Amino acid sequence: MSNALGATTSAGPTVFVVYGATGDLAKRLVMPGFAALAAADLLPEKWILIGSGRRAQPVDAYREHVRAGLQEFGKVGDEVVDSILPGLRFAGGGFTADDPGELLDAVRDARAEIGEDAQLVHYLALPPSTFQDYTRAIAAHGLAEGSRVVYEKPYGTSPESFEELDQLVQSVFDEQQVFRIDHFLGKEATQQLHVLRFANRMIEQLWSNEHVAQVQIDVPEVLGVDDRATFYDETGATLDMLVTHLLQVAAEVALDPPADWTSDALAQAREDVLAKFRPLDPAEVVLGQGSGYQEIEDVREGSTTDTFVAAKVWVDTERWRGVPFVLRTGKKLAESHQHVTLVFKRPSNSPQKDADAAPETLTFTLSGNGSVFAGVTARRPGVSDDLVPGKLYLDLAELPNAEPLPPYAALLRDVLIGDRALFTTSDGLRDAWRVACPLLAHRPELLPYEPGTWGPDAAEEIAAPYGWLTEQHR
């Protein structure tokens, strides 16, 4: 199984090291992803997972911690949880360049148990501010050679910190060893974007500025920051979502046909088109902060962190020149959805004369298995000549044997087999930071909005003349 079309491979004996093993990210996403692989019988035949943490604790205590987390977030049965627990180990005492704590002994023992040549995978489920220290520690203790390393996002919190981190990482690892995770690229439905486009002539023929008037990438959320306030207040919607997920999805939409369907070619196509994204114009960006955000525990007093961003992005390629890509995301909005929508130009000889009529659209949902639907115009049956909107719909969950992996499970699987098609490259991230630079340097006024709304009213202008197409998605 792989994200590159037609590629199939499997992983040999593997030792996973999860740094930050008792933290929120490991509990909510990493270990549930691991459990989903176990449930799908996609783990290596021989594996051991070592949790690394600052405080020493008996392995049984760590196993019970993982059990409790999987019961809350894992969405797998007790029999799957029970099958995972014996493979878990714990290495306390922290891990620094000066002091490896218990980790070197744990790795040595694990390899003695499942094979001295077992692949070593480092997963940094940690705040981005710690990435450099842990990278140096991995190098200092001889754990870099031949291993793979997974970095969570954001990979840097500014263009300058990105360059500093990337220079260090490139000095320790070869690029093929590095997996910079972006779980939106791991979504089954995101992967469907290029498959449905290139495998269907009727879609591919419409995929350009000749036919498309606007592209909307819309990811509003009803949820707040929950217990991520400390992390979120250092990043906000721009760094947490725009520079990472939304620009990567936009590149997935905008890419030109890859040279072939290998992992490297697909990643290269996404990287090539990111290089053609125009830097953001702050005048075409709206930032907002939800009412009550500053009262959340662990949010800094007087915080200017944005919890909402809407932006217009331009792609300077022959295929997309002149078509605005409009991106929106925010916390505590009116509803949650994840949509990519192509808004089509009206045919020159259309019988639809109502200028305010709903435009023709093609929408891909990115949640779950995903779905695809086209907003079309039809004649109302009967004696009337009225033209009314309709919908053509495909639920991808109805495809034969449709059993999607959660995004983190899919990406963990790709790390195991060395498939980097759905991971961000160093050059691709550099271009994402380049696109964001003007916004970071000259932030527009932070506008207030009330929870349960669609954010600041000014954001409607970003999606003009169509507005954000929410009603048709229901």
Q: Are 326 and 316 in contact, with CB atoms under 8 Å apart?
A: no
**245 in catalytic set:** yes
Amino acid of residue 139: A
Which residue ranges make up the annotated binding site? 20-27, 54, 153, 183, 187, 221, 240, 331
The residues, ordered by sequence, that sit 6+ positions from 171 with a Cβ below 8 Å of its Cβ are none
Binding-site members for substrate are 183, 187, 221, 240, 331
Pairwise CA distance, residues 320 & 46, whole Å: 47
Binding-site residues for NADP(+): 20-27, 54, 153
| Distances in whole angstroms, Cα of residue 473 to Cα of each of 168, 182, 341, 372, 378 | 45, 25, 10, 10, 17
The two tokens of residue 334 are: 């009116």
Per-residue H/E/C for 265-306: HHHHHHHHHHCCECCCCHHHEEEEEECCHHHCCCCCCCCCCC
Count the helix, strand and coil residues of the chain and give each as a percent rounded to the nearest 5: 40, 20, 40
Sign of CA dihedral 437, 440, 445, 448: positive
CA pair distance 166, 173, nearest whole angstrom = 10
Q: What angle do CA 109, 70, 86 make, to 5 degrees?
A: 30
Helix (H) or strand (E) holding 119: strand 119-124
Token pair listed for 311: 């932006």
Annotated catalytic residue within 245, 339, 442, 473: 245
DSSP 254: H
The total number of residues written for the chain in this structure: 474
Q: How far apart are CA 140 and CA 172, in angstroms?
A: 10
Q: Is 24 helix (H, G, I), strand (E, B) or coil?
A: helix
What gap in Å lies between CA 145 and CA 132, rounded to an integer? Answer: 17
- The residues pairing with 363 across neighbouring beta strands, listed in sequence order, are 341, 373
Catalytic (active-site) positions: 245
